[in-house]
Structure 1
Amino acid sequence: MAKKGVRLPEAEARDYDAEDRKRIQDDMDSMYAVPLSILPLETTGLKRARMVKNVKLQSAIEVFADKETGSGQLDVEDLPGEFDWPDDKTHPDLIIMRKLSVLQSYDIYSLRITLREHGIPVNDDVSLSLSADKQAELAGYMRSFTMPLIMQIYGSEDASIQSFQDVVGLFKDPDVKKARDKLQQMAEKLDIDLMEIPKFLEDYGDIFLSLSYYRQNMDNIMPVVNEFLDSMEGIRSNWQLRNDPALMKTCTMVENTINETCASISGRFETFNKASKSMWKNLNAERFRQVKGMIESYHTVIGGILCGLTVKMIHWKRLFPDPELGGPVRRAEFIMSEMKQGINRMRDLEQAQPMGAALDVDE
């Protein structure tokens, strides 16, 4: 929850150390936090903070967080008072912070789109990409998307090409003729120029990495979602709580919203899978561009819903780490005070951009 009067730390006259860099990269890999150091802000004291989505799905500037003291947060509109910005004009950093605060998710794929739409620049040396560690985590998810490409182009007889990295590695192959022959084979299969292969591979890897990232986040949070939904029975069967009409109505609303949005995300993933499988039946660059465009068009919807679910479930699990701990009364209090706040935003996102039919790429 955002608190007023939290003084931001003074800027330290040192470079970011390894711990700082790890924290920043962890934020870049997350759904719900963005390090402010990636933005060209004028106010030095803001650069070590981050913007987060809190349990009410409101954006807040977090200046510190640990297990002992909790999270120290500021509302965006508190910044002028914290930094004594002049009253006669709007500070440039406040303009950026206001724009950043309305974003629905802080995952890098949503950020790429929404930062551009809102005219928010990033520092020249910042790459909006997942860390190497996160990409390694997603290797299992990526395999289902990259192996069909390999099989389409090289077939099963080429034992030297076993992964997407092997394909990319052709550009560094010391055997120039061997590498060029294979790349030419790929270009012919895709019906594109040889010089277009690097850009195609970059786009191909990135778009399916984004889908793998979202799927992993969904898989990670679903056990907690199921725990939460199972807890509804304990609340409804409690003699004290079941006679509270406002609570019962809220429980039904929250439960329905979570079920509907989870079903929506699962349905979108299924549509993407169907489109990509159809694409692989007769792969070429144009068919890939169609599927890529379709997936990208839903990044902000998927990101916003998964961000909301993730934040809600993280706070739920933190309070109730074991299904046997915390009685129904405590759980009901959390639902009424925190869980219901902002949850309608997830439903609004889904309804604003319903899933259309899968692209027909068979022709």
Structure 2
Amino acid sequence: MSDGADTSEAVAEVAGDKSARPQGGGRRRQWEDEARDALHIMPLSAIPLETPGLQHARLIKNVRLQTVVEMFHDVQTGSGQVSPRHLTAYFESYKEEVERDLVKIEKIAAASSFDVYTSRIELRRLNIDVNSVESLTLSDRKKEELTNYMRVFTRPLVEYVYGSEDMQVQDVKDIIGMFSNPNRDEALRNLRMMADRLDIELGEIPQFLEEYGDIFLSLAYFKKCLDDIVPEIQRFLSWMAEIRSSTEVKRDARQMRMLDEISRDLTDISTSITGRFESFDNRSKDFWRDINAETFHSIRELIASHHVTIGGVLCGLAVKMDLWKARFARGGGGPNRRMEFVKSEILPGLSHIKSLEQSARSASA
């Protein structure tokens, strides 16, 4: 939606809820789940707003890492986007309400990512309750998708209590149910030992498991995002490297230098954030080698402290790679077209992603 769009028509569409979100139960659920599971989308329904119509809009990060309000999205009309500061033009009958809502929206818009974990942090800073907001949790489909990733963290837990990983465990709920009624004397003894080492009562073990599950589900979510993005970055770098064969580009030292810098930055960012996840894995193994309250609180705080920067880095990389795949679905593209895409869509915001990753590495050094 451009700034010159017909404002009355846009308001009618959104306020009447005709195109602010897909119609039909299945499509609506898919639309909502997409937002919950994405790195770059926050449903405005997660925020208590006064302006009618805004509840069905979404904040999204575009490829330049700018935050825009997506007023509607469908196959026929595409994505209708507007800068937050221009919202008053689309809701002329609710100017006072929009102005009050903008105070919240603009603060949240400054976040580097809109994944559910970063969003919770940002909303808590505004004293907004996040515990009862469904859109700030991963969808059931995403949780199921992360089952294999979660096994890395649930396996040592099961082994510690039962001495075997040969148990049918799909997620943390299964573990809580299993541990609430241990079917072996040895398992009960191990649970008591765990409670003692964690300095909690045996009856508090389910709460510990909930916390354990939440923190490592967040890690599994980000790890899955990383595993999806890294191969795309490698493909993109190979595609971008082909521009060098152009005689015109070879003659332009400035453009060659820009390609070198982008390639180096994307490689460094990917290597660095991958190293962070390896560090988390090592710390979680340390916890199971020496279970105690201090090591658990330490790893929980460590992972939580990285949510914002991990989300921001992955969000930035994801929106850029997604646009590249959409624009060049079959690869290809002449040297000039490729160079223009790199300059106009990949380069803007890349320094922000790089600085986010560097700040995280410096803080944990």
Fold shared by both chains (TM-score > 0.5): yes
Q: Structure 1 pair 357/80, CA: closer, same or farther in 2 (3 Å)?
A: closer
Show the counterpart of 2:119: 111
Deviation of the 1:141 alpha carbon: 0.7
Show the counterpart of 1:271: 279
3-state SS of 1:321 partner: coil
- Do the aligned residues in 2 keep the contact of 1:110 with 1:299 (CA within 8 Å)? yes
Of stretches 302-311 and 255-264 in structure 1, the one that deviates more from structure 2 is 255-264
Deviation of the 1:38 alpha carbon: 1.7
Q: CA offsets per residue over residues 289-346 of structure 1, 9 Å max, x none?
A: 11111011011000000000000000000011123x2222211111111111111110
Matching residue's letter, 2:329: P
- Do the aligned residues in 2 keep the contact of 1:109 with 1:210 (CA within 8 Å)? yes
Distance in 1 separating the partners of 2:130 and 2:167: 40
Show the counterpart of 2:142: 134
Task: Please tell me whether residue 310 in structure 1 is matched to residue 310 in structure 2.
Answer: no
Structure 1 residue aligned with 2:359, among 346, 349, 352? 352
Distance in 1 separating the partners of 2:302 and 2:245: 44
Distance in 1 separating the partners of 2:211 and 2:167: 23
- Do the aligned residues in 1 keep the contact of 2:243 with 2:335 (CA within 8 Å)? yes
Superposed CA RMSD in Å reads 3.0
- Do the aligned residues in 1 keep the contact of 2:262 with 2:347 (CA within 8 Å)? yes
Q: How many residues matched?
A: 356
- Do the aligned residues in 2 keep the contact of 1:38 with 1:123 (CA within 8 Å)? no
**TM-score between the two structures when normalised by the length of structure 2:** 0.87
Distance in 1 separating the partners of 2:2 and 2:264: 28
Matching residue's letter, 1:154: Y
1 or 2, which has the higher helix percentage? 2
3-state SS of 2:250 partner: coil
Show the counterpart of 1:76: 84
Task: Please tell me whether residue 286 in structure 1 is matched to residue 290 in structure 2.
Answer: no
3-state SS of 1:353 partner: helix
Distance in 2 separating the partners of 1:357 and 1:51: 30
Task: Please tell me whether residue 229 in structure 1 is matched to residue 237 in structure 2.
Answer: yes
Matching residue's letter, 2:15: A
Matches within 5 A, 1:198-217: 198-217=206-225
Task: Please tell me whether residue 339 in structure 1 is matched to residue 346 in structure 2.
Answer: yes
Give the unaligned 5+ runs of structure 2: none
Of stretches 92-101 and 173-182 in structure 1, the one that deviates more from structure 2 is 173-182
- Do the aligned residues in 2 keep the contact of 1:99 with 1:120 (CA within 8 Å)? no
Deviation of the 1:25 alpha carbon: 2.1
Distance in 2 separating the partners of 1:179 and 1:274: 26
Of stretches 180-189 and 287-296 in structure 1, the one that deviates more from structure 2 is 180-189
Distance in 1 separating the partners of 2:54 and 2:98: 16
3-state SS of 2:136 partner: coil
Matching residue's letter, 2:153: F
Distance in 2 separating the partners of 1:147 and 1:336: 46
Of stretches 79-88 and 326-335 in structure 1, the one that deviates more from structure 2 is 79-88
3-state SS of 1:350 partner: helix
Q: CA offsets per residue over residues 228-258 of structure 1, 9 Å max, x none?
A: 1012221112112222344323322322221
- Do the aligned residues in 1 keep the contact of 2:61 with 2:68 (CA within 8 Å)? yes
- Do the aligned residues in 1 keep the contact of 2:36 with 2:135 (CA within 8 Å)? no
Distance in 2 separating the partners of 1:16 and 1:284: 50
Q: Structure 1 pair 249/25, CA: closer, same or farther in 2 (3 Å)?
A: same
Distance in 2 separating the partners of 1:225 and 1:160: 37
- Do the aligned residues in 2 keep the contact of 1:39 with 1:123 (CA within 8 Å)? no
Show the counterpart of 1:247: 255
Task: Please tell me whether residue 43 in structure 1 is matched to residue 51 in structure 2.
Answer: yes
Show the counterpart of 1:361: none
